[in-house]
Amino acid sequence: MNQIIINLETPEIKVLEKVGEKDAIAKASKESVFRQISEGKAQFTASSSKAFALIIDGKSLQYALDDDMKKLFLELALGCASVICCRSSPKQKALVTRLVKAGTRKTTLAIGDGANDVGMLQEADIGIGISGVEGMQAVMSSDIAIAQFRFLDRLLLVHGHWCYRRISSMICYFFYKNMTFGFTVFLYEAHTSFSAKPAYNDWFLSLYNVVFTSLPVIALGIFDQDVSARFCLKFPLLYQEGVQNVLFSWRRIIGWMFNGLCSAIIIFFLCTNALDPQAFNKDGKIAEFQILGATMYTCLLWVVNCQMALAVGYLNVVQHICIWGGIGFWYLFLLAYGAMPPKISTTAYKVFVEGLALAPSFWVVTFFVVISALIPYFLYNAIQRRFFPTYHGMLQWIGHEGLSDDPKYCKMLNQRSIRSITVGFTALSLGKNQRWES
C-alpha cells in the first residue's frame, strides 16, 4: 500500500528548533505540514485506483488541526484507506474524532483501552472500551466494554448486524400489529355511523398491546437471528445491510403498514359477512355485538401472532412459548373473564363458553380468516425470495443447503462491490490479498 507520511523531522525544521524562536518554528512547521498535505492530496487524486495509507505524528497533527487546514486534512484522510496518528495526545485524539464526526456526519466508533483514550471514546458516537491491563478508565467512559481487541469484529459483524435487524424488525412489526388492530376498529366504526363505539369489549382493547401481543415482540427484539453467528463472520458484507439502511427503509415500513391494512380489511369483511345477519349456530341464535366482537378479536390475535411466526426466520423455545402461549392465554383469558360476574365482564360474560366454543361456525370462520389474512404476505415472501432475494436471504439459503464451504458460492457472495473502491475494509483486504499474492 502506498504511504503518505507527514512529519516535522525535516532538516529545516530541526535547524529552526535549534535556534529556538517559537514564532518562526510555528510558521515554518505550519507551512511544511500544509505542503505535505497538499502533496499527499495530489498523489492521491492522481491515481484513484490505488489504496493509500496516511501516517501523521502528533507534532504535525497540532498544525493540521488548525481551523484553516483541517478541512484539507480531513479530505486527505477520508481518501486514504488507513490513517495512523502516532504519538498524539489525548486531546488530539478527541479532536480528530470530532473532526471526522462533524465533517462526514457519519456514525463514528472509537475503541481504546487506556485513560488517554477517554476523550476520544466520549467524543465518538460509539465508544468501545477494552478492559484489561491499562485499568478500567476506558471501560467506565465507554458505551460498550469488551475484554480483548479481537472481540471487536464479532461485536460489529455479529451483534451489530443482529441488533440492527432486531430493532428494525421490531419497529416494523409494531407498526403492523397496531395498524391491523386500529383499522379493524376503524372499519367497524364506519358501520356505527362513526359514533365512536369500539368493536371490542373495553378490556380487550386495553390489554391488546399490554398482554396479548407484547411478549412475542419482546422475544423478537431479544432473540431474533436471521443469519447464524458463524455466517455473519464469514460473510462480512452482510454488515453493509446496516450501513446502507436496507432493512429500515421507507419502502419497508410502508410495506408493513400496508400489510396491516390488508390484514385488517380481510379480517373485518370476512368475519362480518360470514356471521351476519343470519343465525350462526344450530339453535338459531344471532351473532350480535358480543359474538362478533369476540370472534373478530380472536381472528386478529391469531393473525398477528402467526404473522410474526411467518416473518421471522428463527424460532427458538422462548419464541414458541411466547407466540403459541400468547394465543392459548387469550382463550384462558376469555374463559376467566367470562366467568366473572356481569358487573365486571359486561359484554364478555360467558361469551366463549356459551356462545363461541359450541358453535362450529366460530371455529370454521376463525380458521378461514387466519389463513386468508396470511396468504398475501406469504405470497409476497415467496415471490421476493425467488426473484429479489436479499443478501441475508441468500446466506440463509446457503446455510440451509449446506453450501457454506463451497468455494464457488463463497467467492460469489463475498464479491465486493462491482465499482472499484479504495477505502475501508474492502480496500484493506484487497491490499492484503495483493501482498500475499505477490
Binding other proteins (rule: CB under 8 A), the pick from 17, 134, 153, 288 is 288
Of 40-48, 179-187, 337-345, 422-430, the segment contacting other proteins by CB under 8 A is: 337-345
Whole-angstrom distance, CA of residue 259 vs CA of residue 267: 12
C-alpha cell at 159: 451483534
Q: How far is the CB of 367 from other proteins (least distance, A)?
A: 8
Least Å from the CB of residue 369 to other proteins: 10
Report the C-alpha gap between 143 and 145 in whole angstroms. 7
Residue 87 marked as a ligand binder: yes
Site string for other proteins, 157-176 (x = CB under 8 A): --------------------
Q: Supply the angle between the helices 407-414 and 391-401 in degrees, to the nearest 10.
A: 170
Q: How far is the CB of 38 from other proteins (least distance, A)?
A: 28
**Residues 340-369 close enough to bind other proteins by CB under 8 A:** 341-343, 346, 349-350, 354-355, 359-361, 364-365, 367-368
Does residue number 27 form part of the binding site for other proteins (CB under 8 A)?
no
Cβ atoms of residues 154 and 129 within 8 Å:
no
Q: How many CA atoms lie within 13 A of 351 on its CB side?
A: 28
Backbone angles phi, psi at 5, to 5 degrees: -110, 130
Query: What's the closest the beta carbon of residue 79 comes to other proteins, in angstroms?
Result: 17
Q: What 3-state class would DSSP assign to 83? A: strand
Interface residue with other proteins among 19, 46, 133, 195 (CB under 8 A) is 195
Q: Across the beta sheet with 144-146, what order do the strands follow?
A: 109-112, 126-130, 144-146
Cα–Cα dist 335/259, whole Å: 31
Rounded Cα distance between 370 and 114, Å, is 57
Residue 416 marked ligand-binding = no
94 vs 413, which CB is nearer to other proteins? 413
- Show the binding pattern over residues 132-151: x = contacts other proteins (CB under 8 A), - = does not: ---------------x----
Helices assigned H by DSSP within 346-406: 360-387, 391-401
β-bridge mates for residue 4, sequence order: 54
C-alpha cell at 392: 441475508
**In terms of CB distance, is 95 or 292 closer to other proteins?**
292
Cβ at position 429, least distance to other proteins in Å: 17
Please state the φ and ψ torsions of residue 145, each to the nearest 5 degrees. Answer: -115, 135
Close Cβ partners of 102 (under 8 Å, ≥ 6 residues apart): none
**Number of C-beta neighbours around residue 336 at 10 A:** 12
Which residues are bridge partners to 2 per DSSP? 52
Q: Which of 124, 185, 270, 300 binds other proteins (CB under 8 A)?
A: 270
Q: Does 413 bind other proteins (CB under 8 A)?
A: yes
**Which residues ranging from 80 to 109 are in contact with other proteins (CB under 8 A)?**
none
Which range binds other proteins by CB under 8 A, 35-43, 46-54, 192-200, 324-332? 192-200
Give yes or no for a cis peptide into 376 (omega within 30° of 0): no
Size of the site for other proteins (CB under 8 A): 88
Q: Per the annotation, does 66 bind a ligand? A: no
438 binds other proteins (CB under 8 A): no
Part in contact with other proteins (CB under 8 A); list of ranges 28-36, 71-79, 207-215, 222-230? 222-230
Nearer to other proteins, 283 or 437 (CB): 283
Which residues define the annotated binding site? 87, 93, 113, 116-117
Which residues define the annotated binding site for ATP? 87, 93, 116-117
Which residues define the annotated binding site for Mg(2+)? 113, 117
